Structure 1
Amino acid sequence: MDVIVNISLLVAQSIIMFSLGLGLEISDFKRVLERKRVVGIALTAQVMVLPLLAYLTVHLFSFSPAFAAGLMILSFCPGGVTSNIISKLAKGDVALSVSLTAVTSILAFVSVPFLVSLSLTHFLGDALNEYSFSEIALVTFLITTTPVSLGVIFRHFKTSIAVKIETGLERLAYVLWTIIVLGAVASSAENVMTNFSQVVMGLFFLPIVMTCFGLILGRMSNLTRTESKTLAIEASIQNSPMALTLTVLISGVSTGLPDLALPAAVYSLTMYAVAFPSVILLRRWGDESKQTPGFDPTADSPAG
């Protein structure tokens, strides 16, 4: 798991983000300006509240320094295409989900390097291989901002081709990604099994609490039910491929899965274990014909 795996991680993540860009249009960015309040609330939950809850999680569940830093890095990585798919399955506001993905994917170049460096310094200090801020920024730019921007540009100028290849490219990326993750976990099976119990409860706790928080925040902010459940999904789903790519490259480990990457790898399982039951529960929670105050996620509605 040396140079070849590192390059494979970069390529897989770049393909995933490029396919995400292919699904975005200029109108998705314009929509952000049209829905400033809703987007502002969602970004607050995703960019500010989630990392704060992640910080609380590592202390509540006594994560080791490496696992703590790994979870913090995961919390900085925006949801990506996965949150769009889950929002669609849950009958959420897909346009809002896509708009948030567009913004956070571009902003990642600004926010992620600084926050990652801060977390590495706080939790690991000198215990980690030297990895400069500029290198983190470069990697983030290469695996997020650049491929997403290229995808949007390609979609704009070659729309018909983009529509044809979008689904196939996305599937290719995830097949490649699955093979790489399974290979990495298999090569470190003993380490994963030994430390699984230490991180698994925290990695269930984080998405469950953020899902509930998103629903409650949405209703307290007088958002519609559809907007509220989209907010809940966006706030609880993170880009584990991006987090795993960053943590493996930062660690510089030549064999096996580094401890820093373990939370992202385990989260790839716990995320879906939380997301799919949420989808089942939220699908029938549609928008009421008239807005009513309060939070009642179990209420039936004509639209549901």
Structure 2
Amino acid sequence: MDILINVVLPLSLAIIMLSLGIGLTFGDFGRVLRTPKAFTIGAVAQVILLPVVTYITVRAFGLAPEIAVGFMLLSFCPGGVTSNMISRLAKGDVALSVSLTAVISLLSIITVPVLAAWSVVHFMGDAAPDVSVTSLAIAMFLITTLPVLIGVLIRHFATSFATRIEPLLTRIATVLFVVIVLAALAGNWQLFVDNLGTLGPALIILNALLLALGLVLARAGALPWGQSKTISIETGIQNATLGITLAALISGQSEGFSAMALPSAVYGITMYIVAAPFVAWFRSR
């Protein structure tokens, strides 16, 4: 289990982020300047609205401290390749989805370590593990930001190679995602069973609420329907693999996944169930 957590997990996330980066171009980052209104609304929804709504949900359900931290870690994570895929299925603005994912993923090296350190102390108090913001930021850079940048560079300088390898990387990333989610669940199975009565409903309600609020915020900003769909999805869909990895980095456990990883692991399954009716509705319009 220690090899899984200390080696396989970070390496898997790096591969997943590489698969994200290899599908990006430098134009995806520049596009935010051409659609500043849509990007700003999407960024505000992800960086501010999402954590605030998650915090309110955690308090409303009275979740245990480690579980509460796990919820907050999940809320700090960007969408990743999953949100791009779901935006495509929903017939949303895929270009906007990709741009949001690209920029927010790079910004997460700054936002996530600071917010994660605050959450641990806020919810766990004296029982909180020591969290070095600097060490967490370096780890975030190595396993998220750097692979994305490498992927973008491969796409730019070896476009044909990137085009050939992208489908394979996407399949590998999907398999790794499933393995990580199942491993985190298996490592906390009894805790999962004991907390299922609150954990499941809290995640499902939070997910549905965020999808709805993202849509409402986009429509209030008078965005076109395609962009509104994407803002909804980017607000409601997070990178569960990053949430699990953050939990492992913060807890420092080498013998098993900590309880902080449980919300992201369960969310890795429930998000598809919750998103399905939204996607079906989006596709019909």
Q: TM-score, normalization: structure 1?
A: 0.91
Write the letter of the residue equivalent to 2:47.
V
Alignment partner, residue 151 of structure 1: 151
Contact 1:5–1:180, Cα closer than 8 Å, also in 2: no
Identify unmatched segments of 5+ residues in structure 2.
none
* 1:97-141 alpha-carbon deviations (Å, 9 max, x no partner): 001011111111111111111111111133133231112111111
* Cα pair distance change 1:225/1:115, threshold 3 Å: same
Contact 2:120–2:129, Cα closer than 8 Å, also in 1: no
Alignment partner, residue 297 of structure 1: none
RMSD: 1.2
Residue 177 of structure 1 pairs with residue 192 of structure 2: no
Structure 1 residue 187: Cα displacement? 3.3
Structure 1 residue 184: Cα displacement? 3.1
Alignment partner, residue 80 of structure 1: 80
Residue 116 of structure 1 pairs with residue 116 of structure 2: yes
Write the letter of the residue equivalent to 2:167.
T
Contact 2:215–2:229, Cα closer than 8 Å, also in 1: yes
Structure-2 separation of matches of 1:126 and 1:137 = 23
| Structure with max Cα Rg | 1
Structure-2 separation of matches of 1:57 and 1:160 = 46
Equivalent residues in 2 for 1:132-171, closer than 5 Å = 132-171=132-171
Alignment partner, residue 214 of structure 2: 214
* 1:143-186 alpha-carbon deviations (Å, 9 max, x no partner): 21111111101110010000100110121122123223323322
Structure-2 separation of matches of 1:241 and 1:183 = 11
SS of residue matched to 2:24: coil
Q: Which moved more, 1:1-10 or 1:21-30?
A: 1-10
Write the letter of the residue equivalent to 1:165.
I
Alignment partner, residue 31 of structure 2: 31
Structure-2 separation of matches of 1:68 and 1:117 = 13
SS of residue matched to 1:49: helix
Structure-2 separation of matches of 1:220 and 1:128 = 40
Structure-2 separation of matches of 1:126 and 1:144 = 30
SS of residue matched to 1:122: helix
Structure 1 residue 210: Cα displacement? 1.1
Alignment partner, residue 250 of structure 2: 250
Higher RCO (CA 8 Å, separation ≥ 6 residues): 2
Equivalent residues in 2 for 1:212-291, closer than 5 Å = 212-285=212-285
* 1:45-93 alpha-carbon deviations (Å, 9 max, x no partner): 1110010000000011111111111111110000011000000000000
Structure-2 separation of matches of 1:4 and 1:83 = 26
Alignment partner, residue 68 of structure 2: 68
Structure-1 separation of matches of 2:204 and 2:184 = 22
Q: Which has the higher helix share?
A: 2
Structure 1 residue 227: Cα displacement? 0.8
Q: TM-score, normalization: structure 2?
A: 0.97
Write the letter of the residue equivalent to 2:34.
E
Structure 1 residue 200: Cα displacement? 1.1
Identify unmatched segments of 5+ residues in structure 1.
286-304
Contact 1:184–1:257, Cα closer than 8 Å, also in 2: yes
Structure 1 residue 193: Cα displacement? 1.1
SS of residue matched to 1:124: helix
Contact 1:79–1:237, Cα closer than 8 Å, also in 2: yes
Structure-1 separation of matches of 2:191 and 2:19 = 33
Identity, % of aligned positions: 48
SS of residue matched to 2:78: coil
* 1:181-212 alpha-carbon deviations (Å, 9 max, x no partner): 32332233222111222211110111111111
